[in-house]
Amino acid sequence: MLEEVKELLLEVEKFVPKSAIELEGFRLSFLGKKGKTNELFAAFKEVPSDQKKDFGAAINNLKQLVQSKIKEHKDSFEVEAENSEIDLTRPVALDNLGSRHPISLIRNEIVEIFTRIGFTISEGPEIEDDWHNFSALNTPKEHPARDMQDTFFIQTNPDILLRSHTSTVQVRYMNDNKPPIRTLSPGRVYRNEAISARAHCIFHQVEGLYIDEDVSFADLKQCLLYFAKEMFGEKTKIRLRPSYFPFTEPSAEVDVSCNICNSKGCNVCKNTGYLEILGCGMVDPNVLENCGIDSKKYSGFAFGMGIERIAMLKYGVKDLRLFFENDVRFLKQFSAL
Ligand code: DAH
């Protein structure tokens, strides 16, 4: 027994830990609950009484040696940690989380305004076919309205295209759902445009569709007035100008009063006091029939607006390209909004 303790003493003397973890292992193996020192103390009662004194002293010796070994090396590892490049006591740096893109902010705001009056959200594919983008929307082949939008067609299959407006989702939604319908379809659209401060080949639109029995133009006007006030402020007025879209009859373009000059006339509204925000109209009966809805029983309205356009008006951004360049200096200005 005494021999065993002596061997352990030698082992401890020779021990040189290479890391704090190794030192901790050493501490546990000697001083832990099930460690060697406790084992030896447990064996103490077996030792003949004349050897008890020497044996006890040897175990105490061993214990002290282990403790001093730990103390000696623990300090050196702590010094090492202090001197290393990593300061474990330093408070963590705040994560720079970025901010929502202004287009997302405006889209969310539009969605929120319309969901409050019962609209639900629907989406459709960005790669479309001729039927959903044109034909079902009362824009047959050779119709001059096809020239209104320079579309990206797939060369090998001219039936496939990148949708030029989100009105495509109207068609899909009416095919899949029965009236009453109140749906809002935000999404990305593509047009073969030269990129400038006012136009881009990719941009975002929100399409609205409302179909039920006895829906009138007055409902359309009231719905858009509600939207304009929520979006641009309680004092906002709207103005409807007659227009033309193949998928609505009658059609209109909607302007909102310029909140920069209070409709007095400034260079943003080009001295007209009003700014154009969207196109709308009563869904053409042909479109309803194309989508399997009885046009004698149901009527409805539709509208479509450009998200970039609304964002430019709301935030006073003069160049549409800024929304696509993603310069952090531009984007971070919207983080607190
Ligand atoms: N699709 C039209 C465009 O891209 C916008 C539009 C106008 C949508 C009138 C409509 C509408 O639903 O009724 O210019």
- Tell me: do 178 and 305 sit in the same domain: yes
**Whose Cα sits closest to atom 12 in ligand 1?**
303
118: left (phi over 0), alpha (psi -120 to 50) or beta: left
Closest Cα to atom 4 of ligand 1: 165
Tokens at 152, concatenated? 């990206």
Rounded Cα distance between 206 and 130, Å, is 20
Ligand 1 centroid–CA 253 distance in Å is 9
Burial class (CB in 10 A: 0-12, 13-18, 19+), 314: middle
188 & 267 share domain: yes
- For the chain, how far is it from start to end, CA to CA, in angstroms? 78
The verdict on 274 and 166 lying in the same domain is yes
6 and 155 co-located in one domain: no
**Ligand 1 pocket, CB under 6 A:** 165, 167, 207, 245, 248, 279-281, 302-304
pTM score, whole prediction: 0.73
Nearest CA to ligand 1 atom 3: 165
Over residues 79-101, the pLDDT tens digits come to 666 666 778 888 888 777 778 99
Domain count across the chain:
2
User: Which ranges of 44-198 would DSSP assign to H, the alpha helix?
Assistant: 49-83, 102-115, 130-133, 167-176
- How do residues 126-168 score in pLDDT, each as one tens digit? 999 999 999 999 998 888 777 766 899 888 998 999 999 999 9
| Rounded Cα distance, 158 and 180, in Å | 34
Return the H-helix or E-strand segment holding 14: helix 2-14
Same domain, 60 and 155: no
Number of H helices, E strands in the chain: 12, 10
Indicate the top mutation candidate among 110, 209, 245, 309 to test ligand 1's pocket, ranked by most ligand atoms within 8 A of CB. 245
Q: Verify that 13 and 152 share a domain, yes or no.
A: no
Q: Where does a domain end: 85, 115, 137?
A: 85
**Residue ranges making up the domain that contains 231:** 102-334
Co-location of 135 and 243 in the same domain = yes
Cα dihedral sign, 306-307-311-312: negative
Q: Which atom of ligand 1 is nearest to the CA of 148?
A: 14
pLDDT values of the chain reduced to their tens digit, one per residue, 337 residues: 778 888 888 988 888 888 888 888 899 999 999 888 888 888 888 888 888 888 888 889 889 999 988 888 887 777 666 666 778 888 888 777 778 999 999 999 999 999 999 999 999 999 999 999 999 999 988 887 777 668 998 889 989 999 999 999 999 999 999 999 999 999 999 999 899 988 999 999 999 999 999 999 999 999 999 999 999 999 999 999 999 999 999 999 999 999 888 889 888 888 999 999 999 999 999 999 999 999 999 999 999 999 999 999 999 898 999 999 999 999 989 875 5
Under DSSP, is residue 222 helix (H, G, I), strand (E, B) or coil?
Answer: helix
- Last-in-domain residue among 85, 112, 147: 85
- The best mutation among 139, 146, 165 to test binding of ligand 1, ranked by most ligand atoms within 8 Å of the C-beta, falls on 165
